[in-house]
């Protein structure tokens, strides 16, 4: 079946602009996670949605970062007023409840 | 919070040899330990996982062992092949929550 998909695959933006990154989880998966992968910080957790519960936002690095999940499916990660240190690969994963997490291919964000 | 340490950071082996990657974790509440393989330009791919009620799990050439007392777990790849070359990440979590990842191991299998 179809895996996790993310769009765009690459995004180049100017410092100070807002960006939106999209994630389509595997159909039927109730949990959705966003992670960030950068050279200096490795793979780090950002935010987690589980069903209709309030999201766990404990990994968001600043209030410029936000995410929503509409209808329990598609999720959008928004970064406002981008900074150069936001450059990274943003990865989305989904899982069926408390089971294995499956990752998408990621969005490579470059802030110039 | 959880902290996961992974060693070595790079590992070079000859084709056909075995490779072992080790991780330690800090939070005794963690009960789920997956391993991911990441190839260049792709997202991490789940290759094997183990839960805290099991000490060892094997899938063909790949095996994972878990020592809950010492809080460490290891990935074993036997009969390595060039296509095993990638970056491998260990991770730990509790009850389906977010994964905390190790720093990664770049495995190079020389033909």
Distance CA B56, CA B11 (A): 22
Tell me the pLDDT tens digit for each residue of A80-99.
999 999 999 999 999 997 77
| Blockwise average pLDDT, block size 10, chain B, 111 residues | 96 98 96 96 95 91 96 98 97 88 97 92
Q: Report the pLDDT value the prediction gives residue A1, as an integer from 0 to 100.
A: 60
Mean pLDDT, residues A51-70 taken together: 93
Q: For A47, name the nearest residue in chain B, comparing CA atoms only.
A: B98
Two tokens at B28?
Answer: 């005794």
Distance (Å) from the alpha carbon of A28 to chain B's nearest alpha carbon: 16
User: Which phi-psi region, left, alpha or beta, contains residue A42 (left: φ > 0; alpha: ψ -120 to 50)?
Assistant: left
Contacts of B35 (CB under 8 A, 6+ apart): B46, B47, B48, B49, B62, B64, B75, B88, B89, B90, B91
Residue B22's alpha-carbon distances to B53, B55, B77, in angstroms, are 19, 15, 12
Is residue A41 over pLDDT 90? no
User: Which phi-psi region, left, alpha or beta, contains residue A17 (left: φ > 0; alpha: ψ -120 to 50)?
Assistant: beta
Residues in a beta bridge with A52: none
Residue A15's alpha-carbon distances to A37, A64, A91, in angstroms, are 19, 13, 21
Contact status of B100 with chain A (Cβ, < 8 Å): yes
Distance CA A9, CA A108 (A): 6
Distance (Å) from the alpha carbon of B43 to chain A's nearest alpha carbon: 4
Distance CA B108, CA B22 (A): 16
Tell me the pLDDT tens digit for each residue of A22-32.
999 999 999 99
Q: For A37, name the nearest residue in chain B, comparing CA atoms only.
A: B43
Distance (Å) from the alpha carbon of B95 to chain A's nearest alpha carbon: 6
Q: Report the pLDDT value the prediction gives residue A90, as an integer from 0 to 100.
A: 98
Residues in a beta bridge with B67: B72
Q: For A57, name the nearest residue in chain B, comparing CA atoms only.
A: B98
* A34-38, A65-69, A81-85, A94-98: least confidently modelled range: A94-98
Q: Do A42 and B101 touch (CB under 8 A)?
A: yes
């Amino acid at each position: 079946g179809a895996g996790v998909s993310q769009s765009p695959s690459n995004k180049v933006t100017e410092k100070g602009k807002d960006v939106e990154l999209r994630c389509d989880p595997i159909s039927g998966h109730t949990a959705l996670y966003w992670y960030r992968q950068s050279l200096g910080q490795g793979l780090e957790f950002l935010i987690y949605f589980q069903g209709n519960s309030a999201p766990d936002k404990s990994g968001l690095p600043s209030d410029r970062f936000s995410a929503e999940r509409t209808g329990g499916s598609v999720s959008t990660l928004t970064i406002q007023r981008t900074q150069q240190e936001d450059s990274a690969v943003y990865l989305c994963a989904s899982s069926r409840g408390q089971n294995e997490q499956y990752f998408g291919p990621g969005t490579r964000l470059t802030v110039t | 919070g959880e902290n996961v340490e992974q060693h070595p950071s790079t590992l070079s082996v000859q084709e056909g040899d075995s490779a072992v990657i080790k991780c330690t974790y800090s939070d005794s509440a963690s009960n789920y330990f997956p391993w991911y393989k990441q190839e260049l330009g792709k997202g991490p791919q789940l290759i094997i996982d183990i839960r805290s009620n099991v000490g060892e799990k094997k899938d063909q050439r790949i095996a994972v062992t878990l020592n809950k007392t010492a809080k460490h777990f290891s990935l074993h790849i036997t009969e390595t092949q060039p296509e095993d070359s990638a970056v491998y990440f260990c991770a730990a979590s509790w009850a389906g929550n977010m994964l905390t990842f190790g720093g990664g191991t770049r495995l190079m299998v020389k033909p």
